[in-house]
Structure 1
Amino acid sequence: MRDMPKVELHLHLEGAAPPAFVRGLAAEKKVDLSGIFDERGAYAYDGFVDFLRVYEAATSVIGSPEDYARLVRTVLEELDAQGVIYAETFVSPDFCGGGDLSAWRDYLAAMREAAEDVAAKGGPVLRGIVTPIRHFGPERAKAPALCAAETAGAWIVGLGLGGNEAVGEPKDYAWAFDCAREAGLRLTCHAGEWRGPDSVRGAVEDLGVERIGHGVRAIEDLALVDTLAERGIVLEVCPGSNIALGLYPNLRAHPIARLRDREVKVTVSTDDPPFFHTTMTQEYDRLADAFGWEAVDFAALNRVAAEAAFCDADTREKILKRLEAADV
């Protein structure tokens, strides 16, 4: 499983920061973050809301373009070790310059330079999806959307919406998504994780997204499941995340297989891997154990992910060729 080439579409950049990386930055900056780690040095939180608190505390020490460049290299090194050949990562101008466009350009240049250097040396290819933070509110989502629109292109390829799903409705963020759409960016949105099927329907109908982050609770409304299948809406499913946060008790209870059986396009990602004690290889191993999926199933999942990627056509063709070469 580790050596199988993989495509990951749902990965939060700061959420992929290893605890040791964050502790190192905190030590350099003389910031006490001991309260967010357990006795083993892992991230420690109690439930989803507390997870957001710990996430934002960890992010607080990643404070400069240089820090983000270091983070990109660290994350890509881990992705390479897991066989990931292409990934899309969520990045937020709220954390990278406080929503200021000029500052965001500096952060973006540093991240992109680091990512392109890794790719030039044969490492994974990385692209960015700008993500306003939902619990910061609809008005504050406008600045990240403008940052995305102004820097849309070969590296910033999409707009998403992360954070606490309990805040607001998808339609409240329509301005940000319309702004990104007009700039030619592709659209995704976290939905159907902590709220039910209506949140998925709202993201599809009110925001016009083509992918949904998580989306697993669509299974509670089979008419919606059929709509997702008919429209080809792709779900960025993160099984390990869902189980770690208590959404489902175990993988056998997780709906990813049922969604796939009903012809919904599903993909597999890790979300915030060190927070949820997972890797792409572990996700594949656990899915194989739970559902009896074999190499042909994972190859199909990766083709779906490659086709759903927000990258340009040339990059997609290269990814597909690498996947096809591994199938031979």
Structure 2
Amino acid sequence: MRDPNEPIGRDEREHDISVIRALPKVELHLHLEGAAPPAFIRGMAKEKSVRLDNVFAPDGSYDFRDFGHFLQVYEAATSVLASPEDYARLTLAMLEQSAENGVIYSETFISPDFCGGGDLSAWKEYLQAMREASEEAGKSLGITLRGVVTCIRHFGPDKARRAAMCAAETAGDWIVGFGMGGDEARGSQRDFAYSFDMAREAGLKLTSHAGEWRGPREVEEAVRDLGVSRVGHGVRAIEDPRLVDNLVEKQIVLEVCPGSNVMLGVYPNLGAHPIEKLRERGVKVTISTDDPPFFHTSMADEYEQLARTHGWDAARFAEIARTSADAAFCDEDTRAGILKRLDG
């Protein structure tokens, strides 16, 4: 990797950035509803004559103050998505954006709570619509999508069990994982152990949001109490050297979303973000966008900003993309196809 302190010409630097933005990418941490462009949600609301108060800023972007308010705006925007067809359209819109940014494989978080209210029969209808849309995008855009069912932490353990049942009943080659999102300040990871055990018994691989707001102990509990192989965010593990060593030893993969962490104020800027320190310590890190239109980012933007801030070159990003492919929850044939495309 080039020494970031080595002087290079402006033209050469911009050429390198252009090359980096165009690299094939693998994204593992992406919320489907959170990937809805504001124009898509406004259009859907207009079609249905639904008023969405206090969701958009004057410039048309999503408007929120902090993480708690973000969750409120997120759920308000999601309220206009009320049918399998709505989710099929959203899936296509999301995949078009991802493909434009060079993503060749993505895993998206989808929740039965938003897709049928946790009812298994309704969930299957939503799931079929999303899967058909993803297969259409695969043919037209060359992008592969898989689903990771998520329970919503602040909805509580009982609803999480319903989500886990939906996940277990539809586990297979498209629904490949189970996880948890939502408000990290509610309850504890172990409150949801039953749901994660149910998903594990169904053959699903596991992830959970942790270490974004509550600190390193939350990461430790996700690994210990839920048995996850990946952690959503997990960046505050850097505050506990012993935990970092444990993550390395157990080969736990972090789904890092730098732009999201900065936008929500977990870190003041990208220079203060610990992704490089974690990588240097041997932690397996990946790069994702979380909820890209909410946080004014894209996968190409994430790559560019990391290159400018940390001096990462194309080889470093290729290495991280391979780490992401290795950590993907898909079957081995799909993984082999991703790796082949990454190797070009």
Amino acid corresponding to residue 191 of structure 2 in structure 1: D
Aligned match of 2:38: 19
Partners of 1:57 and 1:45 lie apart in 2 by 12
Aligned match of 1:273: 292
1:309 is the counterpart of 2:311: no
Q: Secondary structure at the match of 1:132?
A: strand
1:233 is the counterpart of 2:252: yes
Question: Aligned match of 1:254 in 273, 277, 283?
Answer: 273
Alpha-carbon RMSD: 0.6
Q: Is the 8 A contact 1:86 1:126 kept in 2?
A: yes
Aligned match of 2:4: none
Aligned pairs for 1:140-151 within 5 A: 140-151=159-170
How much has 1:291 moved relative to structure 2?
0.5
Aligned match of 2:149: 130
Aligned match of 1:89: 108
How much has 1:121 moved relative to structure 2?
2.6
Partners of 1:117 and 1:250 lie apart in 2 by 38
Aligned match of 1:55: 74
Aligned pairs for 1:172-321 within 5 A: 172-321=191-340
Partners of 1:35 and 1:272 lie apart in 2 by 18
TM-score calculated relative to the size of structure 2: 0.94
Partners of 2:141 and 2:193 lie apart in 1 by 39
1:33 is the counterpart of 2:55: no
How much has 1:282 moved relative to structure 2?
0.5
How much has 1:76 moved relative to structure 2?
0.4
Q: Is the 8 A contact 2:179 2:206 kept in 1?
A: yes
Gaps of at least 5 residues in structure 2 are: 1-19
How much has 1:140 moved relative to structure 2?
1.3
Q: Is the 8 A contact 2:99 2:141 kept in 1?
A: no
Q: Is the 8 A contact 2:179 2:207 kept in 1?
A: yes
Range that drifts further, 171-180 or 1-10? 1-10
Runs of 4+ in 1 over 6 A off after TM superposition: none
CA deviation vs aligned residue, 1:158-206 (integer Å, no higher than 9, x gap): 0010000001111000010000000000000000001111100000000
Partners of 2:302 and 2:173 lie apart in 1 by 29
How much has 1:90 moved relative to structure 2?
0.1
Structure with greater contact order relative to length (CA < 8 Å, sep ≥ 6): 2
Report how many residues are paired. Answer: 325
Q: Secondary structure at the match of 1:43?
A: coil
Q: Secondary structure at the match of 2:203?
A: coil
Q: Secondary structure at the match of 1:190?
A: strand
TM-score calculated relative to the size of structure 1: 0.98
How much has 1:18 moved relative to structure 2?
0.2
- Quick check: which has more Rg, 1 or 2? 2
